[in-house]
Amino acid sequence: MTSTNDIRYGVIGSGMMGVEHITNIGHVDGVVVTAVADPHRPSIDAALAAAGTDDLAVYADYRDLLAADVCDAVVIATPNMTHIDVLLDTLRTDLHVLVEKPLCTTVEDCQRVIAAAEAHAGKVWVGLEYRYMPPVARMVAEVGAGAVGDVRMVAIREHRFPFLEKVGNWNRFNRNSGGTLVEKTCHYFDLMNLITGRRPLRVLASGGQDVNHLDEIYDGERSDILDNAYVIVEYADGVRAMLDLCMFAEATHNQEELCVVGAEGKVEALIPESIVRSGRRGEHFIGGVETIPVSNPDIRFEGFHHGSSYLEHVDFRDAIANDTEPLVTLDDGLWSVAMGAAAHRSIDEGRFVELSEFIGGAG
């Protein structure tokens, strides 16, 4: 039942992720979707269906939603290349903001948003919800409790299906998405930073477009998004992380495999198998580690991301209601984009790329 004290949400962009947010919000106590903005009528219809009501304020132009007194917070789920304009316009209001990843498609635009947010009264939260996947959260907690000792190596593998179709096929081009290593893997770069407790120094990457979308041409232009890559990230004190991405590997058991190793042990998370394996040197040997099935009974809706979007929205709501700081910050969003941009430059130029080339003072 809707309460007059509910936090009112407007959703800007009601494609696949916008609808996912609407459905998740519908399972969170104390919040309600009151408005939606999208220029694409089928997306509006999908939003209304997801909300289960026609009683929403509907706008073709998001600026009309921002100008109306119909919400207290907005979720921005528009195509990546539009984030900068939508964010800058939203930050001129007092509305709270949850923006889908990536924060923006370029480091420069992320920095413009951060500067604009300094005078913003509302909360600003970046949607890097992979932190909330139950096996990942459990793995991070195990590492934080000392299961591996000092973290030395992080390895993340995503073997999955190709990019899905989006409205207007905007995600088929690097200039719109920021590139695969910004659009898709900013989640994993964020996790590397979270797990190591450090900011990266340099990146070395190799990747290509070898299988997917090779024959896709839109308005005379061929798709140019990468479908596979290896990325090595170096941190201070010799700490390293690695990403193995393949987007033509849906014939697999686990889509994501995350592994953290330190001098005292190893912890790994497997998704969607939803287990964590933990082993301590001197106590366990190959094949004899502890296997921990992981679930979270607080999740009311699993959606596309194993309940992580639901948990993200619970914390976003609590930050608004309790006037606490966002747990996933604009700075987190900036660094995750910068690492992807550095990886793309490394592929293009065949060299290690320093993060200081993108963010002054890095390293």
161 Cβ contact partners less than 8 Å away, ≥ 6 residues apart: 247, 248, 250
146 and 279 both lie in a single domain: yes
Residues (pLDDT < 70) of the chain are 1-4, 361-363
- Whether 237 is covered by a domain: the verdict is yes
**Identity of residue 229:** A
114 and 153 both lie in a single domain: no
- Whether 68 is covered by a domain: the verdict is yes
How far does Cα 347 stand from its chain's mean position? 22
For residue 1, the model assigns a pLDDT of: 44
For residue 138, the model assigns a pLDDT of: 98
> Residue 244's domain is classified under what CATH number?
3.30.360.10
Q: Tens digit of pLDDT for each residue in 311-326?
A: 999 999 999 999 999 9
108 and 52 both lie in a single domain: yes
- Whether 100 is covered by a domain: the verdict is yes
**Identity of residue 154:** V
Q: What is the largest CA-CA distance in the chain?
A: 63
For residue 4, the model assigns a pLDDT of: 65
Q: How far apart are the first and last CA of the chain?
A: 51
Domain that holds residue 193: 131-301+335-357
Classify each residue of 210-243 as buried b or exposed e, where b means 16 or more C-beta atoms within 10 Å of its C-beta.
eebbeeeeeeeeebebbbbbebbbbbeeebbbbb
E strand or H helix at 202: strand 202-208
62 and 154 both lie in a single domain: no
235 Cβ contact partners less than 8 Å away, ≥ 6 residues apart: 196, 198, 199, 200, 201, 241
pTM, to two decimals: 0.96
For residue 5, the model assigns a pLDDT of: 84
CA distances from residue 158 to 21, 73, 253 in whole angstroms, order as listed: 23, 32, 11
Q: Tens digit of pLDDT for each residue in 252-288?
A: 999 999 999 999 999 999 999 999 999 999 999 999 9
